[in-house]
Amino acid sequence: MNERDVLLNELAQGLRPMPQGIEWFDSLGHEEQAEVLLFLRHHCVQARAVAEDALESIRRAGLRPTHTPAVLISRGRIDEQLGKIASLTPLDERGKAFRLLIAVLAIADARRLERFCSDGCSHWWHHLSAAD
């Protein structure tokens, strides 16, 4: 676990405001942004994101259905589409991809927490709190 991991999980859990996350993401260099997007994609898959998460994720991310990341997540296998979203290179698309992947992680991990970890677990990210 490092600061980045904690920050991203706090964003997904609503423990940190998204504008703060966007400001942080925008301050990163191109390679760091790419790493963050790939990290988020990996964790969305690990959290068992499903195609049915797409519409709510688009809504939570504040994207229009015509934005490239929204179009991608709505088509095809979710794991493949998340990879395409994480690989977007235009700067204006990266910010949208970041918001969308945070939303997907939020939905998928909340479901995982409810289904598999409600009686307790050893996942460090399920033990974050706003006071930390």
Q: What is the pLDDT of residue 71?
A: 96
Q: What is the pLDDT of residue 110?
A: 87
Question: Mean pLDDT in runs of 10 for the chain (132 residues)?
Answer: 82 91 96 95 92 95 96 92 93 94 94 69 52 40
Q: What is the pLDDT of residue 118?
A: 63
Q: What is the pLDDT of residue 9?
A: 85
Q: Where are the domains of the chain?
A: 3-113
Q: What is the pLDDT of residue 114?
A: 72
pTM over 0.85: yes
Cα-Cα-Cα-Cα dihedral sign, residues 65, 69, 71, 74? negative
